[in-house]
Chain A
Amino acid sequence: MKLLTLNFLTCARKTCKSAPSSFPLHPREAELEVVQADVNLAFLKNILPRLMWGELRTITGELGLPTLPDTAPERSALFTAAAAVSETTTPGVDPEAIDAPEHPAPVEEPEETPTQTAIDLHRILLETCIKEGKLVCGNCGHEYAVKEGVANFLLPGHLV
C-alpha cells in the first residue's frame, strides 16, 4: 500500500466514522518496499492541497523514514516553468500568478520540470509502499493485515 493511500484511508468500522483518532491508521511491524513509478507532476499539483501533511509526517516518523519538513511545500515549489523562466524570478512578480492561469488550457501546458521537492514528494507518496505488516486504528484498535502490499479491509459481520 502506497503512503498516498494511507493519507486518505480511514478505519472501516461505522462506529469509528466520527472519531478523529480513526485517521490516520498506524502502521505496525511494517516492511517497506520502493516501487518505481513515473513522476506525474500534474497529479502532484492536484493532490497537494488535499494532503493532510501533519498526518503524513506522523506516519513517516512511525515508519522511521527521514523527517519531513514542518509544513507542506508550496505548489510553486514543485516545478520550474519553461526554460524562459530563469532561476531568479522578476522582482514583484508572483510566480504563482504566472504558473496558475485562472482558466488552464485543457491540454497544452507549457513544459514544466519537476523540482527535487516534487521528486521527493513523489518518492514518498507514490513509490514508498507498505509490503507486509498491519494498519491499526487509533480509535478502536482494529488491525488490518497487509500482505503483498494488499490490505485486508473486510470486516467480520459483527464489526460492520
Chain B
Amino acid sequence: MSRPEDTLPPDLFYNDTESRKYTTSSRIQKIQSDMTHRALALLQLRSPSLILDVGCGSGLSGEILSNDAEEGTPGGPHVWIGFDISASMLGVALEKEVEGDLFLADAGQGVPFRPGTFDAAISISAVQWLCNAETSEESPAGRLSRFFNGLYASLRRGGRAVCQFYPKNDLQKKMVSSAAVKAGFGAGLLEDDMGTKNAKTYLVLTVGGGEMDGDITGVVRGMDGVDVHDDRRRIKNRKGEDKKGSKAWIMRKKEQMESKGKVVKTNSKYTGRKRRIAF
C-alpha cells in the first residue's frame, strides 16, 4: 500500500476533495474514533482539561474530546485547541462546527503557546508527516525536534501527550521517539495489533513533575498488548558516565551524528513549490 506521505506534502495531499473524502468515510471515522479513545485512556484525565490536538484535520479526533464521561470521554467534556497544516481540512472542521478552536500551523515549525498551557495533548495519525521534509532547508530531524521541544514546553508539569502515528519502518519509529526523548519527555511506545496490517503505534509521553504519575512505564504497563520501550535509561547515560572510547560512548556519538542530520534529504520533488496559504 502506498503511503500518502511519500506522494505529496500534507497541505497539498489534503486538498478540498481529499479532505471531504477522508472526513465522510465511515470506515475512517470509526478508526480515528477508536484511536482517539485509546489515546484518551492513556491520558487518564479525571476532570475537564485544556487539550491540544496536533494535526487535528477536520476534527474527527478533536470532536471526541468535547464529549462527556457518559459518552465515553474520561474526564470530559474537555476544551480543545487544534491546529493543522491543511486549510482544506480546517475548512471541513468549520463546516462541521466542531467545538474546538482551530488555527492553521505547521507542527514542524514548533508549537506557539506560552509554557505550561495544556493539561494534555493528542495527535492522531499526523506525526509521520513530519518525517518528510518539504524543502531543502528543512530536515525531518530538525522538524521533529522543533515540534517535540515546542510540545514539551507547552505542556504543564505532570502533563501527558499521546501521539498515534504510522511509522514507515523501525528507523522512523526510532527517529520520532528519540526526538521526543531528547526534548525531555519520558517516552514509551505502545503497539496494538503488532505485526498485523492493522498495527497501531502510540507514543506515550510524560512531562516530569506535578501530581500525575510521570513514569511512563507505570502508564502502559499491564495494558493489553503493550510493549514498553523505555528509552530513558540510555538517555541518562548520555549525561556523562560513559567512558570515552567505550561501546556506549561510541553509540552515543553515533546517535549524536544521526541527530545532526545524517538522514537529511538533500532535495525533494517539491522544492520551491508554491505553498497554498489563502483560504
The chain A residues found within 8 Å of chain B, CB to CB, are 1-2, 4-5, 8-12, 14, 23, 37-38, 40, 42-43, 46-47, 50, 52, 104, 106-107, 126, 129, 147-155, 157, 160
A157 and B113 form a contact (CB under 8 A): no
A148 and B94 form a contact (CB under 8 A): yes
Which residues of chain A are within 8 angstroms of B275 by Cβ–Cβ distance? 154
B85 and A154 form a contact (CB under 8 A): yes
B47 and A46 form a contact (CB under 8 A): yes
Residue on B with the closest CB to A5?
B101
User: For chain B residues 215-251, which have a beta carbon within 8 Å of chain A?
Assistant: none
A107 CA / B73 CA spacing, docked (Å) = 12
Cβ of B42 under 8 Å from chain A: no
Can you offer 11 A-B residue contacts whose CB atoms are under 8 A?
Answer: A9-B112, A40-B79, A46-B119, A148-B94, A150-B87, A150-B103, A150-B279, A152-B277, A153-B103, A155-B106, A160-B109
Determine how close the nearest CB of chain B comes to the CB of A38; give it in whole angstroms. Answer: 8
Do most interface residues of chain B lie in helix, strand or loop, or is the interface mixed?
loop
A155 CB contact (under 8 Å) in B77, B87, B109, B279? B109
Which residues of chain B are within 8 angstroms of A40 by Cβ–Cβ distance? 48, 77, 79
A43 and B48 form a contact (CB under 8 A): yes
Residue on B with the closest CB to A147?
B279
Determine how close the nearest CB of chain A comes to the CB of B112; give it in whole angstroms. Answer: 4
Interface residues on B, range: 35 or more
Which residues of chain A are within 8 angstroms of B104 by Cβ–Cβ distance? 150-154
A155 CA / B112 CA spacing, docked (Å) = 11
Which residues of chain B are within 8 angstroms of A129 by Cβ–Cβ distance? 101
A42 and B279 form a contact (CB under 8 A): no
Residue on A with the closest CB to B83?
A153
Which residues of chain B are within 8 angstroms of A1 by Cβ–Cβ distance? 101, 103
A50 and B105 form a contact (CB under 8 A): no
Cβ of B33 under 8 Å from chain A: no
B117 and A50 form a contact (CB under 8 A): yes
A92 CA / B105 CA spacing, docked (Å) = 52
Residue on A with the closest CB to B103?
A151
Residue on B with the closest CB to A42?
B48
A106 and B46 form a contact (CB under 8 A): yes
Taking A5-B81, A147-B279, A152-B277 as contacts, is the C-beta distance between A46 and B103 under 8 angstroms? no
The chain B residues found within 8 Å of chain A, CB to CB, are 46-50, 69, 77-79, 81, 83, 85, 87, 90, 94, 99, 101-106, 109-110, 112-114, 116-117, 119, 135, 137-138, 156, 275, 277, 279
A47 CA / B49 CA spacing, docked (Å) = 8
Determine how close the nearest CB of chain B comes to the CB of A3; give it in whole angstroms. Answer: 10
Determine how close the nearest CB of chain B comes to the CB of A123; give it in whole angstroms. Answer: 14
Taking A43-B79, A154-B104 as contacts, is the C-beta distance between A12 and B109 under 8 angstroms? yes
A149 and B79 form a contact (CB under 8 A): no
Residue on B with the closest CB to A6?
B101
Residue on B with the closest CB to A52?
B114
A150 CA / B119 CA spacing, docked (Å) = 22
A9 CA / B110 CA spacing, docked (Å) = 12
Determine how close the nearest CB of chain B comes to the CB of A133; give it in whole angstroms. Answer: 14
B47 and A8 form a contact (CB under 8 A): no
Taking A12-B109, A46-B49 as contacts, is the C-beta distance between A4 and B94 under 8 angstroms? no
Which residues of chain A are within 8 angstroms of B109 by Cβ–Cβ distance? 12, 153-155, 160
Which residues of chain B are within 8 angstroms of A42 by Cβ–Cβ distance? 47-48
A149 CB contact (under 8 Å) in B46, B77, B102? B102
A154 CA / B101 CA spacing, docked (Å) = 16
Determine how close the nearest CB of chain A comes to the CB of B215; give it in whole angstroms. Answer: 20
A8 and B102 form a contact (CB under 8 A): no
Which residues of chain A are within 8 angstroms of B49 by Cβ–Cβ distance? 43, 46
Which residues of chain B are within 8 angstroms of A5 by Cβ–Cβ distance? 81, 101, 103
Determine how close the nearest CB of chain A comes to the CB of B31; give it in whole angstroms. Answer: 26
A12 and B46 form a contact (CB under 8 A): no
